Structure 1
Amino acid sequence: MKSNPLHFYQTTPEELTNDILKGVDGKLQEFFDKLQPSKKNEEEELLTIEEALTILKCSNQTLWNWRKSGIIPSYRLGNRVYIKRSDINSKLIKQVPDDDE
């Protein structure tokens, strides 16, 4: 059995507490970052047609009509069609009409 040498460092209880808290804080931040992806990553996420249909809760024909009329832009990559989550989110925000109309 291989033995590892022990290293002793002199530290105050306050320094030890601060070091432990920094480590815990860093691990908690990593955990919460995994739970809540950054807004930018979410906004730039490309969705397949099936994923967009699930979010929009509409028929394939309706989504096709919205894409062709330019209501929701789509992007082609090879043979696949994608839609940005940010484009869907911007269309889901209720538009308040102006008082002039």
Structure 2
Amino acid sequence: MKSTQLHVIETTPEELTDNILIGVDSKLKEFFDKYQPSKKDEVELLTVDETLKRLKCSKQALWNWRKNGVLPSYRLGNRVYYKMSDILAKLVKQE
């Protein structure tokens, strides 16, 4: 039978709590860093049709959101574009 050594370390409840919180904090930071929008999404411009497919909404709803300032849009000539980062930010904020 294989024997193992057991090391006993004396810690206070406060030290133990601090160590647990540091571990939880680092895991949460890893999680949120992993799920932040990528740099590609921040500058990706979507056409009206692409935006409609992503949001699964009607053309009229998208037009109303643009006119009411709910979802910012950008014009290049006579074309309208939406930034993916704006769409993600609006979905997260829910304002």
| TM-score, shorter chain, exceeding 0.5 | yes
Partner of 1:66: 65
Residue 47 of structure 2 corresponds to residue 57 of structure 1: no
Counterparts of 2:74 and 2:93 in 1: how far apart (Å)?
24
The aligned amino acid for 1:88 is I
The aligned amino acid for 1:44 is V
By how many angstroms is 1:40 displaced? 1.1
By how many angstroms is 1:94 displaced? 5.0
Residue 85 of structure 2 corresponds to residue 86 of structure 1: yes
Secondary structure of the residue aligned to 2:71 is coil
Secondary structure of the residue aligned to 1:76 is strand
Percent of residue pairs identical:
64
Secondary structure of the residue aligned to 1:63 is helix
User: Structure 1: which 5+ runs fail to align?
Assistant: 1-37, 97-101
User: Structure 2: which 5+ runs fail to align?
Assistant: 1-36
The farther-off stretch of 87-96 and 75-84 is 87-96
* Structure-1-length-normalised TM-score: 0.54
What's the Cα RMSD here?
1.8
Counterparts of 1:66 and 1:41 in 2: how far apart (Å)?
24
Counterparts of 1:47 and 1:89 in 2: how far apart (Å)?
12
Secondary structure of the residue aligned to 1:47 is strand
By how many angstroms is 1:56 displaced? 0.6
* Structure-2-length-normalised TM-score: 0.57
Counterparts of 1:48 and 1:95 in 2: how far apart (Å)?
22
Counterparts of 1:51 and 1:59 in 2: how far apart (Å)?
12
The aligned amino acid for 1:73 is P
The aligned amino acid for 1:92 is L
